[in-house]
Amino acid sequence: MSSVNERVDELMARFGAPDACLADLLCDRHDPDAAAFTVVSQDFSSGRLTYGELRERSERVAAGLAGLGVSAGDPVATLMGKSAEYLSTVVGIWRLGAVHVPLFTAFAPPAIAMRLEGSGAKVVVTDSGQRTKLDRPAGTVPPWRVVHLRSHPGTELSPPDIDFRDFVSSRGSPRPAVVVGGRGPMVRMYTSGTTGRPKGVAIPVAAMATWQLYLEFGLDVTEEDVYWCAADPGWAYGLFAAVLAPLAAGRTSIVHGDRFTADATWRILADLGVTNFTAAPTAYRALRLAAPASVALRKASSAGEPLTPEVNQWAESHLGISVHDHYGQTELGMVFCNHHHPSLGRPLKPGSMGVPLPGWTTGVLGQESDVVAAPREVGRVAVDVQASPAAWFDGYVDAPDATREKFTADGRWYLTGDSGRCDDDGHYFFMARDDDVIIMAGYRIGPFDVESVILTHPDVAECAVIAVPDALKGEVIEAFVVLEGAVGDRDELAVELKDRVRDNLAAYAYPRAVHFVESLPKTPSGKIQRFLLREERRAQMAAADDA
């Protein structure tokens, strides 16, 4: 363990140093002939982007941005598909010491506008497939400049847009990369908004340390691995695990330029011989429903949502390996892992998100006090920021009230907003978002536990459970179920699902009603929005009472 602690100290010192320079840490110090990325196009052809090429291209981007008046600390947004141009752009932003504002390509125009206006972005770099989302009402002038990568042949360039290829055509003399230091901002990310309006998080260079620790100990990405994180870089996990952490470690990462599909993912896994893969649980569920390919996977990981047991039942039988669940937040980075690294690996416990990653000290606080709860007691999952060298978050941008709610009164504990428990061996188990917990007749029930049982049924593709008001019990459970295919008798299936929960979880925890739906409401990153189901169901019940 001493060597692990030494590695924590080493990375904290590297990324937290006053002279920390992102362009050097992520690109310039590496072998220029080594591959930084394997870029897979929509037609599945692939090419190498070396560190030397990434440096040269990002220098051109930095020069273009400087020509538009961008300097250190200025926000620059990207609304782009995954491509070599995207990768060059984000490194070019950091080469100037500017702040990257990622925009997820599945966002609708209002979500994009909120992030652009909230961040004060001076420039937006976009491509043809996304350009219309930046349109403003006639007669208005946006406060940002648009650099347009015309990725679709024949796309018109509308003034005052700037053509990306003209933007990077004249290199000039390379300028020194800007030093912003460990506390300098590198990314302005917005929380996913599952429980309210998205809030801005200013992520400093020092936060890179915890992501490289995650790459090394959580994912155990080695020089021999063919590594692919399939998450989208419009979100924290995809940006850091697919782009930044591999660059920091000098590892080669795969970037696929098309939207996720199970068939495409199987093909890339097979064609490129991927050995180390990470994606959201929804991706694994999609993979198990598609025709599999012969793959060389040795390590598989998951993050973003709790990993339900049926995924590993499938993975162990079809892939011969288990998927390791991991947990993190935009405000923290990755905190809990079922580590792949041999020095930290432990036998998996079904439903557990693992143990703390090196650099973190965590606990479960009581529901009514800021005292650490007893083992196995459900409480509030928290991080002891005073004892966690990896901790860097000190508040949301321009949101003091929201910041205060994230910390205990003494400032010691960061409150994740999730309920969970820790067993006698130190393994943590996610129960629910705090506002998702169901309290029925005195019992605290995490929807994840109920959903995990329902999802083991072969006819169930997806499931979400919520609480609805009940005059006798306070709240009761109802389930919303998406089926994998046609089912003959849905009433019979509903009874079967209720019995399955009674028999495999608890008699008090079965859903009192099962609703079969075509889809579940989700954030663009795939997280189920149970609060929308609650609002809709309660509105239905209120209307029925008024009738």
Q: What is the pLDDT of residue 450?
A: 87
Q: In this model, does residue 76 exceed pLDDT 90?
A: yes
- pLDDT confidence bin for 195, thresholds 50/70/90: very low
**Farthest CA pair distance, the chain:** 75
* Mean pLDDT, residues 223-244: 95
Please tell me the distance from the alpha carbon of residue 267 to that of residue 289, in angstroms, as a whole number: 15
CA 287 to chain centroid, in Å, comes to 19
Domains and CATH numbers, the chain: 25-30+52-180 (3.40.50.980), 437-546 (3.30.300.30)
- Give 329-338 pLDDT, tens digit per residue: 999 999 999 9
Amino acid identity at 446: G
What pLDDT score was predicted for residue 531?
Answer: 86
Residue 139 has pLDDT above 60, yes or no: yes
For the segment 166-173, the average pLDDT, to the nearest whole number, is 78
Cα–Cα distance between 475 and 456 in angstroms, integer? 25
Residue type, 447: P
Count of C-beta atoms within a 10 Å radius of residue 296: 11
* Predicted local confidence at residue 194, as pLDDT: 45
Confidence of residue 438 (pLDDT cuts 50, 70, 90): confident
Arithmetic mean of pLDDT, 367-390: 94
Closest CA to 509 of 424, 452, 426: 452
CB 440 within 8 A of CB 476: yes
β-pair type (460-470, 474-483): antiparallel
| pLDDT of 14 strictly over 60 | yes
489 Cβ contact list (under 8 Å, min separation 6): none
pLDDT grade for 138, boundaries at 50, 70 and 90 = confident
Task: Tell me the average pLDDT across 230-245.
Answer: 94
Render pLDDT for 464-509 as a digit per residue (tens, 0 to 9): 999 898 766 777 899 999 998 888 899 999 999 999 998 887 777 8
Mean pLDDT score, 25-44:
96
Q: Strands 362-365 and 352-356: what pairing?
A: unpaired
Asked whether residue 259 carries a pLDDT value surpassing 80, the answer given is yes
Between vectors from CA 511 to CA 509 and to CA 512, what angle results, nearest 5°? 115
* Dihedral in degrees, nearest 10, Cα atoms 259, 262, 263, 265: 70
DSSP string, 411-468: S-EEEEEEEEEE-TTS-EEEEEEGGG-EEETTEEE-HHHHHHHHTTSTTEEEEEEEEE
Percentage of residues of the chain with pLDDT beyond 70: 96
Residue 171's pLDDT band, with cuts at 50, 70 and 90, is low
Q: Is the pLDDT of residue 198 over 80?
A: no
Interaxial angle between packed helices 281-289 and 309-318, expressed in degrees from 0 to 180 and rounded to the nearest 10: 50
Residue 264 to residue 87: CA distance in whole angstroms = 21
Element (H, E) at 544: helix 530-546
Q: Of 526 and 46, which is predicted with more confidence?
A: 46
Instruction: Tell me the average pLDDT across 430-456.
Output: 76
Residue 158: pLDDT over 70: yes
Closest CA to 509 of 470, 453, 425, 433: 453
CA distance 304 to 327: 7
* Tokens read off for 496: 């079967």
Q: Find the helix packing angle between 490-504 and 447-454, rounded to 10°.
A: 120
- Higher pLDDT: 313 or 158? It is 313
CB 266 within 8 A of CB 287: yes
Q: What is the rounded average pLDDT for all residues in the chain?
A: 91
Give residue 134's pLDDT. Answer: 93
pLDDT value of position 285: 84
Q: What percent of the chain has pLDDT over 90?
A: 70
Stated as kind and residue range, the H or E segment containing 50 is strand 46-50
Torsion of CA 286, 291, 295, 300, to 10 degrees: 20
**How does pLDDT run across 409-431, given as a tens digit for each residue?**
999 999 999 999 999 999 999 88
Residue 432, pLDDT above cutoff 70: yes
DSSP 3-state of 259: coil
Range 272-301 average pLDDT: 92
Residue 384's φ and ψ, nearest 5 degrees, are -80, 95
The residues facing 301 across adjacent strands are 278, 324
Query: What's phi and psi for 143, nearest 5 deg?
Result: -80, 5
pLDDT in tens, 320-331: 999 999 999 999
Q: How confident is the model at residue 282 (pLDDT cuts 50, 70, 90)?
A: confident
pLDDT digits (tens, 9 = 90+) for 299-317: 999 998 788 888 899 999 9
